[in-house]
Amino acid sequence: MFDYDKTKAWRSGEVRHTFTARDTILYALGLGVGSDPLDKQQLRYVYEKELVALPTMAAVLASPGAWMRERTELGIDFLRLVHGEQGVKIHQPLPVAGTVLGESRVTRIVDKGEGKGAVMHVEKLLKDAASGDLLATAEQVLFLRGNGGFSGGTGGDAPAAALPSLPESAPDAVLELPTRPEAALVYRLSGDVNPLHADPEVAAKAGFPKPILHGLATWGNAGRAVVQLFCGHEPTRLRGIRARLTSPVYPGETLVFEGWRVADGHADGEVAFRVRVKERDVVVLNNGRAQVTG
């Protein structure tokens, strides 16, 4: 039985995470950065010389882990849990190495009704351990497919505002991002070791023909595309990014990023985007929004 009160009160406590330049490089490699080793812009993320961090790495630093599975008293049906949305706001540029502190908490649980699941929002504050400065605020939205109907019709918490729709015009920029067959095996080394992304037998039991790419890897590729197309390759200009995860990606497929500038000509503004798989013409990220600065 799902326990709303205990789940809503869940707090991770302080998670300390020390990471090195090697970890920052490994995260970028997991997204496919460095596929052209002669591209100076890509080398900035995968070579120690003038190394910079991709802002989306904030989502994986100081993670509380698979607490939804470990805290069995909460009653979360972990096997039917789906990552539905991911967002991050960047307050300070991420260092390429250091120690950070993450504190996560459940902020919202919406009951969609019996047989319809529930929606849970989990917020993480990421701070620099030395200075105490807030580096980023990350939020993941999880669809609890097996936990609807817990409120007896009251609905639990009020739903969050829906993500805005995309422009109907042709995109202002398009970028193809091929993924490698071993992409999930590399990306999992940044923290998410769920066997769904590595073990063919586990993937088959979950209904997939083979292991799937991490949703956060697809999302991270969208951030990489925004930095390249709308931030002049300068990662510090990306201040926030959010999107719905709508369909799985299989390693080896080609991601196609489509972006629209919705800033009305101002230096600071917003980018709308989606990502689809070229080979199957399936949208895998939708209703994306990114905040960029001049």
Q: What sign does the dihedral 171-172-174-175 (CA atoms) show?
A: negative
User: Does 212 participate in catalysis according to the annotation?
Assistant: yes
CA 209/CA 214 separation, integer angstroms: 15
Give the type of residue at 280. R
Residue with the two structure tokens 């995968």? 46
| Catalytic residue (choose from 23, 111, 157, 192) | 192
| Catalytic residue (choose from 102, 156, 197, 214) | 197
Query: What DSSP assignment string belongs to 118-146?
Result: EEEEEEEEEEETTT--EEEEEEEEEEETT
User: Does 192 participate in catalysis according to the annotation?
Assistant: yes
User: Does 215 participate in catalysis according to the annotation?
Assistant: yes
| Catalytic residue (choose from 32, 215, 220, 259) | 215
User: Does 294 participate in catalysis according to the annotation?
Assistant: no
104, 136 in Cβ contact below 8 A?
no
> Is residue 170 packed enough to be buried (19+ CB in 10 Å), middle (13-18) or exposed (0-12)?
exposed
CA 5/CA 54 separation, integer angstroms: 36
Angle, alpha carbons 219-224-229 (nearest 5°) = 125
The residues carrying an active-site annotation are 192, 197, 212, 215
